[in-house]
Structure 1
Amino acid sequence: MARVLLFGPLRDLAGWRERDLDPPPASIAELKQRLAAEDARLGEALSGKGVQVALDQQIVRGDAQLSARSEVAFLPPMSGG
């Protein structure tokens, strides 16, 4: 079972912070597709500029394969000065 975490405005948009997915998606791309099929606004936000993905607490770029016990966190764009 893969765990998905949303933070900041992504959490607010989705209306949830944490979910377990069973069966787990095979990749981050598949995960995004699954979430977008459930909520088009969330899917669009996850594909937005500046959204980062952490796989098992490590920032990843692009797609990556998931395991049944993966934790995927979507982090909103950071701002500051």
Structure 2
Amino acid sequence: MARVGVEQSLTNVQDALRAKGYDVIELKQESDAQNCDCCVVTGLDSNVMGMADTVTKAPVIDANGMSADEVCQAVESRLQ
């Protein structure tokens, strides 16, 4: 199954993805995202300066305002 990186604070999303059989990795630092097929973030650490270095080419899902089920559906649609 696909490896999904999820921010530490999104424990409900981590549990929901594990229940669906995904290999879930906690994103503790930027390098954790390098080996993921998809990443889920809260969007709280938004880039105010407009500068960013690309760490991964995997799709990134902003879970802000989404339920765990909605995040799972977004992950499934991006990985197909």
Q: Flag whether TM exceeds 0.5 (same fold).
A: no
Point out the structure with the larger strand share: 1
TM-score, normalisation: structure 1: 0.27
TM-score, normalisation: structure 2: 0.28
